[in-house]
Amino acid sequence: MPPTDASLSGIVLAAGAGTRHGGPKALVVPWLADAVRLLLDGGCGSVVVVLGAAADEARALVPDDARVTCVVAPRWSDGLGASLRTGLAHADGDAVVVTLVDLPGTPVSVVGRLTTTWDRSTLRQAVYDGRPGHPVVIGADHWAGLADTLTGDRGARGYLVAHGVEEVECGDLHHGLDIDEQSVSRPARSPRHAPTAPDQGGTP
């Protein structure tokens, strides 16, 4: 397990309404708690959880830990970009590790590979067999510039590409698929119940 670094923060994006999924993904036990623990176990000294839909219910599922702060994105319904902008506004330290609530089963080893070395100028993204995914490491030198590009459901990818993001292959550690991608070949499930055995690696 990577050592904890107080200058490295984490952001969990968990604000969406989960329309395709049938309800807010933040309410699916234990996804939210697992995403927070992924970042803490991965070495983040603090974690910001960005909530939106069903924020009060979701907040109750966040681990009770002094290192974890919950914030509500004022314009969460605008999309991912609005949520990330809120997370960056509340982050501190020299870099953040950003992940999503709907990536169950992501191993700590992925975070560890991304954060072996980093500084305020780092832009680094996990890729899975060449496909961009999460987590993403964003050095503090980029926060203001990135925030200026985040509108609606537009995430960070455009900024990352324009500024020469370093892609780190993690396909040997995990498949990197979010739950919507995983469910394409699986039957629908209740939004309040997690998959019984999420894949830990390889391609499903």
Per-residue confidence in pLDDT tens, the chain, 204 aa: 889 999 999 999 999 988 787 899 999 999 999 999 999 999 999 999 999 999 999 999 999 999 999 999 999 999 999 999 999 999 999 999 999 999 999 999 999 999 999 999 999 999 999 999 999 999 999 999 999 999 878 899 999 999 999 999 999 999 999 988 887 534 334 444 444 333 333 322
Q: How far is 97 from 90, CA to CA, in rounded Å?
A: 13
Domain assignment of residue 48, yes or no: yes
Instruction: Report whether 63 contacts 70 (CB < 8 A).
Output: no
pLDDT of residue 184: 53
Domain assignment of residue 197, yes or no: no
CATH number of domain containing 130: 3.90.550.10
Which two structure tokens, joined as six digits, stand for 153? Answer: 């459901």
pLDDT of residue 38: 99
Domain residues for the domain of 115 are 5-176
**What residues contact 8, with CB distance under 8 A and at least 6 apart?**
43, 44, 45, 93, 94, 95, 96, 97, 115, 118
Domain assignment of residue 41, yes or no: yes
Domain assignment of residue 100, yes or no: yes
Domain assignment of residue 190, yes or no: no
Instruction: Report whether 89 contacts 147 (CB < 8 A).
Output: yes
Residue 38 CA: distances (Å) to CA of 10, 42, 80, 190, 196? 9, 6, 20, 24, 18
pLDDT of residue 182: 80
- Cβ atoms < 10 Å from Cβ of 138: 29
Edge-to-edge order in the sheet of strand 44-51: 68-72, 44-51, 5-14, 95-100, 131-139, 123-128, 166-169
Cα–chain-centroid distance for residue 172? Answer: 19
- Overall pTM > 0.85: yes
Report the sign of the C-alpha dihedral through residues 204, 42, 147, 48, in that order: positive
Three-class secondary structure of residue 97 per DSSP: strand
pLDDT of residue 153: 80
Domain assignment of residue 31, yes or no: yes
Domain assignment of residue 56, yes or no: yes
pLDDT of residue 20: 80
Report the sign of the C-alpha dihedral through residues 43, 46, 51, 57, in that order: positive
pLDDT of residue 201: 32
Q: Strand pairing partners for 46?
A: 9
Q: How many domains does the chain fold into?
A: 1
Instruction: Report whether 11 contacts 48 (CB < 8 A).
Output: yes
